[in-house]
A and B are shown apart, each in its own frame.
Chain A
Amino acid sequence: MGIIYYDLNVILALTDSLVYNGLFAAIAISLWYPVRYNNPEGKISFRAMSTYLILGLLILPAWLYLGYFILKILFPGNDEYFRFLNDSFFVRVILGMLYFIASVLFYHLLVYYKALEEKRLNETKLNLLVRESELNVIRSQMNPHFLFNSLNSISSLTISNPDRAREMIIKLSDFLRYALKYGQQDKTSFAEELKNIELYMDIEKIRFGEKLVFEKNIANVCLQAKLPNMILQPLIENAIKHGVYESTDHIIVNLSCKDSGSFIEISLRNNFDPEYKSRTGAGVGLKNVENRLRLIYNREGLLKIKKENNLFEVILKIPQNK
């Protein structure tokens, strides 16, 4: 093709580049929206590619024509320049395509990076919560009040009823073993959790005698259902703490579970002494459970609290993928 020189002044050249590049800058900025909302994860899919192809086919001619139009207004009758404009048409098309691809790619990277960052943050939060609840679980299993009072009961039973003392030691050991085993973030079966809760309740029953009544009403389907490790333990402890520890009357703790299609619904109810003046609202333990559920299942409203008269109820909805 050879090199062709055009006799153009600096002002003209600057204006030309300003108009075309400026126009594209404006287009590039508005490109953010299709990229951002087309795929929030920042991955390049076939669908996204075809969207960009169509977008490019629309935008490039518009860009070229608009530039041409503006320059035509700015420099009417400058034939030399318009000859240059016509000759460089092909170069401008290529340039426009490069601009277009570069901006789309840049935005994709940005979106992808942001999504990654968010995901990482979520994961960190989840890890932190799980670790926290692990710690809480271990601490509550080693809950000094629970542990030392149980040991004191055992000490008393060694005199009055050695067989029961031995039984209690074994239960306490099994319970502590479960606590030590716990440490993974996995889910476990409801049946497994239930076994642990029964151990805990048996120990508390030895301490509190008839004051504590544990009832359960578990649909068979629930036993195989998966739920996050140790998600029920804080609720049980809460019921014991505010029910049994603070009352002189019988406290009935009722654990029930039913199948509700895409999730299981677990309810833990306990009555409490109406004279016990507790502060309203959820305690730290319940809040932790709620946070954990939200982060694991990425859904709101999986934990509900009801408090009427002297009945306290916590309802958990655990999603199940079948």
Chain B
Amino acid sequence: MIKTIIVEDEKLARDLIHNYLMDHPDIQVTGEYEDGFSGLKAINDLKPDLVFLDIQMPKLTGFEMLEVLDHKPAIIFTTAYDQYAIKAFELNAVDYLLKPYSRDRFSEAVKKARERLDSGDVDITDKLINHIDKQPETIHRVVVRSRSKINVIPVDELRYIKAEDDYVMLYTRDSKFLKQKTMRYFESHLPSEDFIRIHRSYIARLSEISQMQLYEKDSYIVILKDGTKLPVSKSGLPRLKNMLDF
């Protein structure tokens, strides 16, 4: 038995998967979910073997879900149209279904998934995420996992970001969250009119900066509205001056 869940926001699309699955009695659907957030919880809780995962969904996209999965199932992505995703799938040999898809094509995908499950080689997520991250798109939320809890942080609530080895620490008004991403990722994906890389290890929200001070000879710090002091590097200084019209 292959324990399977479906994460897809349109009912008719879910119905179709159910119908096509009648050809595959070994696949047992244990749940279906209409948005990324409940889908994510289900994957982490139910630990299915296989997931049919739509990419465009409310609350969390299929890709945002991947970033915070505890459990790594085999995934068959379904999408209507997303050139960048399709390229990422192809380069990473991940199977996907383009809507609308035929019964035969569906069976082929299921067959491949079965083979992957048998060989135990299902974890494609890291490579895929790396690829997707290169997409130059502005993000408006960040998904983080802290212990068993999933948090969706709106970018509007981010105050500053600090590098922590392979992770970054995201600071909001009353909390902080660890996220496994690079500084470069945030530098290129946060709205560039709101955030500025002031230091190798720091990105700050421009509107949070209350003043800039000479710290030592030739070195500056910025003081945020709550009094937090952050260093400014040599390369950060001209950028800061430029954005503050200094």
Contact = CB atoms under 8 A, between A and B. Distances in A.
- Co-complex (A, B): yes
A152 B100 contact: yes
A2 B19 CA distance: 114
B49 interface: no
Contacts, number: 79
A11 interface: no
Contacts of A207: 10, 12
A276 B140 CA distance: 10
Measured as residues with beta carbon below 8 angstroms from the partner, the interface class of chain A is 20 to 34
Contacts of A248: 9, 34-35, 58-59
Nearest to B97: A152
A30 B191 CA distance: 51
Interface in A150-183: 151-157, 159-160
B56 A153 contact: no
B35 A152 contact: no
A213 to B, nearest CB: 16
B141 A245 contact: no
A156 B12 contact: yes
Contacts of A160: 12, 15, 19
B99 interface: yes
A275 interface: yes
Most chain B CB within a 10 A radius of its CB, from A144, A148, A149, A159: A149
A156 B98 CA distance: 14
A207 B80 CA distance: 13
Nearest to B19: A159
A314 B56 CA distance: 25
B58 A152 contact: no
Contacts of A208: 10
A163 to B, nearest CB: 14
B100 A151 contact: yes
Interface in B9-28: 9-13, 15-16, 19
B154 interface: yes
B164 interface: no
Interface string A194-210: 00000000000011110
Nearest to B33: A248
B81 interface: yes
B117 interface: no
A152 B12 contact: yes
A273 interface: yes
The 7 closest A-B pairs by CB, nearest first: A144-B81, A277-B154, A148-B80, A152-B99, A156-B16, A155-B100, A156-B12
Interface of B: 9-13, 15-16, 19, 34-35, 56, 58-59, 80-81, 98-101, 138, 140-141, 152, 154-156, 191
29 contacts: A144-B81, A145-B80, A147-B80, A148-B80, A148-B99, A149-B99, A152-B10, A152-B80, A152-B99, A152-B100, A153-B12, A155-B99, A156-B12, A156-B16, A157-B12, A159-B15, A206-B12, A207-B10, A245-B56, A246-B59, A248-B59, A273-B58, A275-B152, A276-B58, A277-B154, A277-B155, A278-B140, A279-B138, A280-B156
